[in-house]
């Protein structure tokens, strides 16, 4: 039985939908102060926008682009105790254009950390960030050295997905996942299949204290630019990073997670040019309760809709036969709406559909 130490997942991850106003717009009801917020305009073809507390409220990076970090004043104005405040934007439509609909995905880190590697003996490259060890999530920042090294990530568990961006240089987003391994990357901004390149992670898997980087521009170049990493490990009953093989059938593959999903992001990685796909339980269900509304994180496209999957009490089941979602080898990361069973000894399972 998939018992969980996290009985209320929405205190660590939550999706918040809202409508833009074109002026200061405070959003509450997230359930915590978010430390990473990922925004997307549902109505228009504007870029995905990611903000975190380590870099600060005015500093945005876009999942669908290689661009450097941008200083966007009056977009995200504050991380608040129960949500966030977005501003007038100055004509942009990224987070608060009047009348446009928006989605935001919010993660809690919350505990600051710093690591002077030479003093602590943990890793070889200094790092700092914010971490939520119970939820398997950290935000980690470091400055590139151009030499093979190791970096403290803040977790006490082995990372299974690391989403990394050079904030000061036009580079691909580098995504390490446990299923695809240490010898290369997926690219969040791209439809590329898995790319072999041992200079990214120095052909070394992460440990419970550090992850390794090589000399690649995407993870640790020598020009002294700052990097940001969003680091995740699976937590039973709350989050799951894994892979599945599509069955090429409209009665699609079932993927066991041990919880009812609230959010799933996935990418086919074995061959071809396939987009990332992002779905959630707040936008997702049609009248038949199937998950239909989705974004491509590698694209600025507005929200689109087609039947994709069903969120069940213990995982998700594909309901489509296409090359992106239900054929080949696919890596995914999912977060829970509710665990299958909340605590050890609990008797009330997640509600089924």
Q: What is the mean pLDDT of each run of 10 residues along the chain (353 residues)?
A: 81 98 97 98 96 97 97 94 93 91 98 98 98 98 98 98 97 98 97 97 98 98 94 97 96 96 98 96 80 97 96 96 97 93 53 55
| 3-class SS of residue 38 | strand
DSSP count for the chain of H helices, then E strands: 1, 27
Phi, psi of 119 (to 5 degrees): -85, -40
Question: Per the structure block, which two tokens stand in for 250?
Answer: 């409209």
pLDDT of residue 341: 65
For 211, the enclosing helix (H) or strand (E) is: strand 210-213
Q: What pLDDT shows up at residue 346?
A: 46
User: Is residue 42 classed exposed, middle or buried when 0-12, 13-18 and 19+ CB atoms within 10 A define those classes?
Assistant: middle
What is the structure's pLDDT at 5? 86
Spatial CA neighbour of 227 closest among 277, 304, 162:
162
Residue 343 has a pLDDT of 55
pLDDT score recorded for residue 122: 98
Tell me the whole-structure pTM to 2 decimals. 0.95
Residue with tokens 């070394």: 204
Q: What pLDDT sits at residue 342?
A: 62
């Amino acid at each position: 039985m998939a018992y969980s130490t996290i009985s209320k997942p929405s205190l660590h991850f939550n999706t918040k939908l809202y409508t833009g106003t074109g002026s200061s717009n405070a959003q509450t009801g997230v359930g915590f102060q978010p430390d990473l917020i990922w925004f997307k305009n549902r109505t228009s073809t504007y870029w995905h926008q990611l903000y975190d507390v380590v870099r600060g409220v005015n500093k945005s990076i876009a999942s669908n682009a290689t661009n450097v970090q941008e200083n966007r004043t009056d977009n995200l104005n504050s991380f608040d105790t129960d949500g966030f405040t977005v501003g007038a934007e100055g004509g942009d439509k990224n987070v608060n254009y009047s009348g446009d609909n928006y989605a935001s995905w919010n993660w809690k880190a919350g505990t600051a950390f710093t690591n002077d590697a030479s003093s602590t003996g943990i890793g070889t490259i200094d790092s700092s960030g914010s971490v939520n060890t119970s939820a398997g999530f950290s935000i980690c920042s470091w400055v590139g050295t151009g030499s093979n090294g190791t970096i403290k990530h803040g977790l006490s568990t082995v990372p299974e997905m690391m989403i990394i961006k050079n904030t000061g240089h036009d580079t691909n987003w580098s995504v390490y996942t446990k299923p695809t391994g240490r010898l290369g990357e997926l690219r969040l901004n791209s439809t590329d299949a898995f790319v072999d390149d041992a200079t990214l992670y120095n052909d070394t898997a992460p440990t419970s204290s550090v992850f390794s980087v090589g000399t690649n521009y995407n993870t640790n170049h020598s020009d002294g630019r700052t990097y940001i990493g969003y680091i995740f490990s699976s937590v039973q009953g709350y989050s799951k990073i894994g892979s599945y093989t599509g069955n090429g059938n409209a009665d699609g593959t079932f993927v066991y997670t041990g919880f009812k999903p609230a959010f799933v992001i996935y990418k086919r990685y074995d061959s071809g040019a396939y987009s990332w796909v992002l779905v959630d339980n707040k936008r997702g269900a049609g009248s038949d309760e199937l998950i239909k509304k989705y974004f491509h994180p590698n694209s600025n496209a507005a929200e689109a809709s087609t039947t994709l999957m069903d969120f069940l009490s213990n995982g998700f089941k594909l309901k489509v036969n296409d090359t992106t979602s239900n054929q080949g080898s696919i890596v995914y990361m999912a977060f829970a709406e509710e665990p299958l069973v909340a605590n050890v000894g609990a008797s009330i399972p997640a509600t089924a559909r």
